[in-house]
Amino acid sequence: MARTRKSLFADGDFAGRVAFITGAASGIGNGLARVLAGRGARLAIADVREDAIEYAAHELRQTGAEVEPFVVDVADRSAMTACAASVAERFGAVHLVINNAGIAQVGTPMDQIDEQTYRWMFDVNVHGVTNGMTAFAPLLRSNGAGGGHIVNVSSIAGLFLVPQWHIGLYSATKMAVIPLSLGMRLALSPSNIGVSVVCPGRIWSELRNNSAALSPGGGALVSNLPDDIDENVMTAAHAAEIILHGVVNDRAFILTHPEHAKDVADYHKLVTDEFEYWTSALSDIPEEAEGAQS
Ligand SMILES: NC(=O)c1ccc[n+]([C@@H]2O[C@H](COP(=O)([O-])OP(=O)(O)OC[C@H]3O[C@@H](n4cnc5c(N)ncnc54)[C@H](O)[C@@H]3O)[C@@H](O)[C@H]2O)c1
């Protein structure tokens, strides 16, 4: 008989447990670090920006938290493996892994995006997540029956393509994170390791500035957004509370902005409408053209 999984965090207790968070120098990752510090977690915080992650660690230590900063590029598989070894050496165990680091590219028509940007977006937003999962899963497994939890940060843009926005590349990377997360959830469930994928709507962060500063080609990567993009934006602290609720309740999906449910349904209707078209069209298309050689 299948064993019912009891999540390590089902008791809602983060105190003394070790959390590894990527992209923790700013925005959602930093919000998560602050909220987890408030709940007594021990923190391994990582980012590609050395000064920023060291400053974030300094600030968190002021609150009395136990924190260690790690400088790592999530896109670099061997660097992530080495980082996991360093975290294990420093903390002895890891219980919660949050693959949050990401970058955005929005507003440029897709035929004008250069090859370097295409690769970079997939390297960071997709391979960064798989690197985090594969580098840290063995550490979570070594907790034995206790297990642990992985959180991967996708986006609401992973659930639908915003009509009229040039957001196809960003959406593609964030869409990829969803099946990768659900697939890993299935694979790690027997080891009592939960996997959740977060699909946030708009959250206050430095995503536009950081993406521009980090981009290999340099320059702004996010442009042509609607004027109301910065209205009704959720704080990173609020998003962090929602994400931890999702961890405690071992949710496969963590959704911060349920008001987008209709956008997601409309996006899926594009596909179901196409099935209707093709169901009718296929009845008129012969399997073989008359007189064709088989
Ligand atoms: N802010 C939003 O509205 C929003 C909405 C949906 C999804 N997201 C996602 O949330 C995640 C966090 O973004 P944020 O909005 O807090 O932005 P942010 O720029 O404030 O934070 C992201 C952090 O990731 C770091 N980072 C970038 N590339 C890295 C790399 N290669 N290796 C290690 N660290 C790297 C940055 O230095 C930065 O500190 C991203 O994956 C983003 O796509 C954000």
**Nearest CA owner, ligand 1 atom 36:** 23
Cβ 218 vs Cβ 174: under 8 Å = no
pLDDT of amino acid 219: 66
> Distance, CA 177 to ligand 1 centroid (Å)?
14
Query: What is the 3-state secondary structure of 208-252?
Result: HHHHHHHCCCCCCCECCCCHHHHCCCECHHHHHHHHHHHHHCCCC
pLDDT of amino acid 228: 82
| 18-259: CATH, from 3.40.50.300, 3.40.50.720, 3.20.20.60, 3.40.718.10 | 3.40.50.720
Q: What angle do CA 195, 193, 71 make, to 5 degrees?
A: 70
**Nearest CA owner, ligand 1 atom 31:** 73
pLDDT of amino acid 163: 81
pLDDT of amino acid 92: 97
**What are phi and psi for residue 76, nearest 5 degrees?**
-100, 105
pLDDT of amino acid 263: 96
> Distance, CA 27 to ligand 1 centroid (Å)?
7
Instruction: List b or e across 179-217, with b for residues whose CB sees 16 or more CB atoms inside 10 angstroms.
Output: ebbbebbeebbebbbbbbbbbbbbbbbebbebbbeebee
pLDDT of amino acid 220: 62
pLDDT of amino acid 218: 75
CA distance 223 to 56: 28
pTM of the model: 0.96
Residues tagged active-site: 170
> Distance, CA 50 to ligand 1 centroid (Å)?
15
CA distance 219 to 213: 7
Q: Which of 55, 207, 260 to mutate to test the pocket of ligand 1 (most atoms within 8 A of CB)?
A: 207
Position in ligand 1 atom list of the atom nearest CA 125: 41
pLDDT of amino acid 293: 63
> Distance, CA 5 to ligand 1 centroid (Å)?
31
Domain residue spans in the chain? 18-259
Query: Pocket around ligand 1: residues whose beta carbon is below 6 Å from it?
Result: 22-23, 25-29, 47-49, 73-75, 100-104, 124, 128, 153, 155, 200, 202-203, 205-207, 210, 214
Q: What is the mean pLDDT of each run of 10 residues along the chain (294 residues)?
A: 75 98 98 98 98 98 98 98 98 98 94 94 98 98 95 98 91 98 98 98 96 85 80 95 98 97 96 96 88 64
Scan for tokens 């063995």, then name that residue.
138
**Nearest CA owner, ligand 1 atom 24:** 23
